Chain A
């Protein structure tokens, strides 16, 4: 075994050393290759069209966010009179009934989190497009937070799914999902896709040169 093959810590990035990572098998592949020499997957230094894709998914999520909040997410039929309610109506209703924690949880999970996620990703995309070198650490943390929180925003869909399954007292009280449930699923899905499409390394590409040294744009 040659000592050349033993990994040596280097402050330089892999790209600076002429290597790119395979996203399927995590092998380091020399830069000129377009395919992984181990698994055959397409390789590139950065995700292709990362910002564009992120923006496209975000835009889809924003489009779906409108029906998700305007249309009823569930239809409650009580003694023959069906009563549709949107997410916000449900939150207001719960708030008026004094269920503040539940109202807050649903409001945060269903409205605030998707919106915050969209805003955060938009901000990150914008910073990448602007090639901003500042606040790299904060932006990295924001990305981490976005990915962490995203999986919890499905709470509302789960609530509806649970209610539909549980509350089926025929004739007295039944709950059926409304069209907003589907749209809301879409919002969550597309924000997740957007976060996935984003390439976090773009955040520091302009702050650190490929040799790992901080560049001073100032």
Chain B
């Protein structure tokens, strides 16, 4: 019997197809997975709160478009970087102005948002913009942006001197309507000013021009004045959360369209609009020889009655005493004023510079600053700019950014002089004599008045006596009749006219009767034989006289 061959065959088994197929399928899956992978992006956040690698989703419009694959500290340990794998279709959402933020439960003045994330955990929200796609590294926002990118509207910067109750989300009102919101508030560490970013939605952004003023509508504005007590608020919402309102002051010129990011000053309240400075101004130094008593910081600077600026500072600083008392003519009191072109039109740095440039020519032609009396009661002064043809020649001097505007000692000094003249004239008048005459006249008048008073008293007594009282009805009736009679004899009375007429006729009749009687004297038969017309009597000459 042959020895059994138990050795294995050396041929390859067909079963090797199985691992090869497994490998091929695995490799194909890997390649396909790699090829179908979406873009990988890196988002930097301030904190990794709620971000879990492999779990935290990236959503837009609540649709998942990716997942956080990794969360790592940034190289400088100041932030975290989340590596996010997006779906291939989401690549076009990665515009250069896209925004990412972590949606967490949030309770604020805008209400409660992100409630669903309490249970599901935070997720990253993507707000695609309108820019060019292709960006891969983003800086995540700390909070949900109040205005999604690519929202049509206008973004403006507001600068306020003191912090107020405004915060991100506070409303921006126009005539009481909500037209936008505060997006961001920050404190400038250098100037101490508050800086806000406000967004005004389309189509209300058209209301904002260079002439527009913004003011704080927060809280309650109360004022007590002679005419009473007034309380003003904007809306309940602004009462609670603060707000900004804007408008164009009455009488202001219509400004130009503003660009995104335009800077505006945020006024404390509506009342301070009229008195507060504009944003852009150039400073001028005025040196006054005369007393500046009554000139206060905040006093207006006017050109022929039109306000163009504000007094910013009054008085000397760092005075050296020996210099102060040495020469009186050089002891000028410096006054710093701001000329604000916004009073006359556009409030911009360019306008301020243009104004300064034009002032140079004006000074050459005689423009001078002087102190003028603003209020006779309080003695308040203001600075007046005007042309003085007889002014000594002077120039606008540049003092390292501040311009020195020449002054003239007019106005007050002249008024003082005139008042003094007037008073001396007044003194030289013969006032004493005039007074004596006036006094005697008055005395006479007084005597007359006394007599009249006495007569009046007598009359009153007479009328008040009981006899007069009893008589009075008959007296009145009698007097009435007498009056009628007397009236009929008056010059205008009808009776008299008739009498005059009758007398004239009687007179005529008598004249006629005389004529008739004369005729019958000459010819008694005249009644029966009407007399012939006799020839005119010819004067006859004496008979023998021819």
Contact = CB atoms under 8 A, between A and B. Distances in A.
A64 B22 contact: yes
Interface string B26-57: 10010000000000000000000000001101
A156 B323 CA distance: 100
Contacts of B57: 81
Interface stretch (A33-41, A51-59, A92-100, A138-146): A51-59
Interface string B333-347: 000000000000000
B13 A52 contact: yes
B72 to A, nearest CB: 20
Nearest to A46: B6
Given A79-B120, A81-B120, A31 B2 contact: yes
A83 interface: yes
A132 interface: no
Interface string A59-81: 11001101100000000001111
Contact of B4 (A16, A53, A56, A59): A16
A18 B22 contact: no
A23 B18 CA distance: 24
Contacts of B475: none
Contacts of A51: 8
Interface string B395-406: 000000000000
Contacts of A53: 13, 15
B1 A18 contact: yes
Contacts of A80: 116, 119-120
B120 A45 contact: no
Interface majority SS (helix, strand, loop, mixed), chain B:
loop
Q: How large is the interface on A (under 10, 10 to 19, 20 to 34, 35 or more residues)?
A: 20 to 34
B4 A210 contact: yes
Contacts of A184: none
A52 B119 contact: no
A81 B54 CA distance: 11
A18 B26 contact: no
A197 B55 contact: no
A210 B3 contact: yes
B18 A56 contact: yes
Interface string A1-45: 000000000000001101010000000000110000000000001
Contacts of A67: 26, 29
12 contacts: A20-B4, A32-B2, A45-B6, A49-B8, A51-B8, A56-B16, A56-B18, A64-B22, A79-B119, A80-B119, A81-B121, A84-B54
Closest 4 CB pairs of A and B: A49-B13, A79-B119, A59-B19, A52-B13
